[in-house]
Structure 1
């Protein structure tokens, strides 16, 4: 990254007319929203049973500037032990991505397949730290193949009248 936080090799300013090579890059990443709830403390710490974990993901993308898109990776985790909630974590981790000379039909596959792959390790760390700071062992999520998930969703939507839109990430 340069002094302004722009990825090296990615210039958000207009180049000369001969500069027509496609370019995509991450401009920044950030926690957009983070919530940790521990509704049954301190009694939950006396429970010796390992909690059952339910993890839900949602990806949303929207254009926020002429050549800039935001991706929000939302992760919701609910842990229960013996019928009681151990903890609930809601994380919205976002990134800004810049595009130059990229065909419009290539932006959505990047934003819903590649961009979440780039953000996920950082979101995973924030989530693990929040759970650990809440008094539980860190929750380490398994890697996710976002490109494969995007391809599966695109194939499933190929026969529907409402294709994915870059704004929402779903039909």
Structure 2
């Protein structure tokens, strides 16, 4: 039997029973919003001997759906070019609906532009790999991306510019 002063958990926190006041964030759903696969020089491109150069670009966007739900969008573009021309071009818009409640603006911004993309990226990476494979090439496995590190770099750059790093639209 525990002594009167030995309390493991104080259930009298002052909050009403069932109060929903703790910060919470999570992924509600994820989906391909847009996918474009171009294979402009097939079947000739399958005969090319030189290794194509890859250009991979990505961008993160966010659109507020309501007070608690935000759509986070990963846009990834992959172009493979050889001396003879473009082998393939893949453009993907991969989205996730993110729910966030009882969080300060800085936490919402960080989750939207660093953590949510980190969660979504492995799934977008698989879509890209499958699209390249379905175009007739060896699957392309994109290197992992340090979204947290990129996010911190972006914040520091905006602070050095004197801009509010958490202003709407900043990624």
Tell me whether the two structures share a fold, i.e. TM-score over 0.5.
Answer: yes
Tell me the distance in 2 between the aligned counterparts of 1:24 and 1:134.
37
Ranges of 4+ aligned residues in structure 1 off by more than 2 Å? 15-19, 159-170
Match of 2:129 in 1: 128
Write the deviation string for residues 104-131 of structure 1: whole angstroms up to 9, x where unpaired.
Answer: 2210111111000000000000000000
Tell me the distance in 2 between the aligned counterparts of 1:100 and 1:16.
18
Tell me the distance in 2 between the aligned counterparts of 1:16 and 1:78.
55
Q: In the TM superposition, what are the counterparts of 1:1-171 in structure 2 within 5 Å? A: 18-164=19-165, 167-170=168-171
Structure 2: runs of 5 or more not aligned: 1-15
Change (3 A) 1:16 1:93: farther
Change (3 A) 1:164 1:74: farther
Count of aligned positions: 156
Tell me the distance in 2 between the aligned counterparts of 1:163 and 1:141.
32
Structure 1: runs of 5 or more not aligned: 1-14
